Amino acid sequence: TQRLAGKTAFITAAGQGMGRAAALAFAEEGAQVWATDINADALSTLDHPRIRTRVLDVRNSAEVALAAADIGAISVLFNCAGFVHNGNILQCSEDDWDFSVDLNLSSMFRVTRAFLPAMLEHGGGSIINMASMASSLKGFPNRFVYGTTKAGVIGFTKAVAADFVKQGIRSNCICPGTVDTPSLRGRIASAADPVQAEKDFIARQPMGRLATVDDISPLLVYLASDESKFVTGAALSVDGGVTI
Ligand code: NAD
């Protein structure tokens, strides 16, 4: 039987990477999926009878409010959008800071605040937020504002979990290791020495390889499904042993 039959899922940043893989995995498990992204071209290649797409910039409050009003009640909200700024504090301008805080953290506030009332009216649901091993779990070089925002995601996740635990809302986040996605390939390609950069990314993974999106999707399906009904406020690592 399909593990997400009867559920409606809303996903941000579903055009590529882990968000896209989650959209396809949720749909395969029977969910009706709203796959959203700022990139219309990326969305247009998502082809599944249970996936509907919608262009959405999670930094735009008016667009987010309109999406929530149009779509109404959902049972699963996956806040996936985020951006990796490369650099330490001295290499992070105020604009860099504001951009990353807004995209990685404020967007989750915006989207969750917009969708939560209808979720509550319909008896609850599962909120899944994208954090990272680079967060309060562990510091990494050149992940200054990134790690700061992802630590914020863990706090955000627990705060929402605490406030709505008695009303059927579960709020969890996942903390992946290094995942082979288009943006990771971009970070490798833009390094001074791309061959060495790829080796370095692999070297920091104790299992000796990068994760694929298929290493991550099963955890997302689990959190979206009722199998995880006793799980809330958790920051679940899926990092191939980096934070052992
Ligand atoms: P990705 O970075 O390759 O793709 C990100 C997607 O986000 C793109 O489709 C892009 O169009 C979309 N996007 C960008 N700005 C947006 C906006 N304002 N509104 C809506 N969509 C927007 O995918 P990924 O690497 O799987 O990353 C997804 C999430 O996972 C991010 O939050 C990232 O920080 C996090 N993460 C990634 C890794 C990794 O190693 N790849 C590890 C841990 C956590």
CATH homologous superfamily of domain 8-178+212-238? NAD(P)-binding Rossmann-like Domain (3.40.50.720)
CA 159 to ligand 1 centroid distance, Å:
23
- Name the residue of 16, 58, 187, 201 whose CB sits within 8 Å of the most ligand 1 atoms, as the mutation to test its pocket: 16
Cα separation of 148 and 127, whole Å?
21
3-state SS record for 18-30: HHHHHHHHHHHCC
**pLDDT tens column, 163-201:** 999 999 999 999 999 999 999 999 999 999 999 999 999
Residues with catalytic annotation?
Answer: 146
**Confidence category of residue 111, pLDDT binned at 50, 70, 90:** very high
The residue nearest atom 12 of ligand 1, judged by CA position, is: 13
**Confidence category of residue 204, pLDDT binned at 50, 70, 90:** very high
Is the minimum distance from the CB of 147 to ligand 1 under 6 angstroms? no
Looking at the CA of residue 60, tell me the nearest atom of ligand 1: 18
Pair 172, 204: CB distance under 8 Å? no
Instruction: Name the token pair of 47.
Output: 């082809």
Distance spanning both ends of the chain, measured CA to CA = 35
The overall average pLDDT reported for the chain is 98
Looking at the CA of residue 178, tell me the nearest atom of ligand 1: 40
Pair 225, 4: CB distance under 8 Å? yes
Domain boundaries of the chain, sorted by first residue: 8-178+212-238
Is the minimum distance from the CB of 12 to ligand 1 under 6 angstroms? yes
Pair 106, 98: CB distance under 8 Å? no
Looking at the CA of residue 84, tell me the nearest atom of ligand 1: 34
Cα separation of 224 and 216, whole Å?
13
**pLDDT tens column, 124-172:** 999 999 999 999 999 999 999 999 999 999 999 999 999 999 999 999 9
Q: What is the DSSP letter of 105?
A: I
CA 80 to ligand 1 centroid distance, Å:
7
Q: Which amino acid is at 166?
A: K
Is the minimum distance from the CB of 125 to ligand 1 under 6 angstroms? no
Instruction: Give CA separation, 237 vs 107, 113, 163, 175, 218, in Å.
Output: 22, 25, 23, 5, 13
Is the minimum distance from the CB of 132 to ligand 1 under 6 angstroms? yes
Cite the DSSP H helix spans in the chain. Answer: 17-28, 40-44, 61-71, 94-100, 107-121, 144-164, 182-189, 194-203, 213-224
Is the minimum distance from the CB of 81 to ligand 1 under 6 angstroms? yes
Is the minimum distance from the CB of 67 to ligand 1 under 6 angstroms? no
Pair 240, 177: CB distance under 8 Å? yes
pLDDT at 38: 98
Pair 107, 81: CB distance under 8 Å? yes
The residue nearest atom 34 of ligand 1, judged by CA position, is: 82
Residue found by looking up tokens 């209808």 in the block:
118
**Confidence category of residue 34, pLDDT binned at 50, 70, 90:** very high
Pair 69, 79: CB distance under 8 Å? no
pLDDT at 30: 98
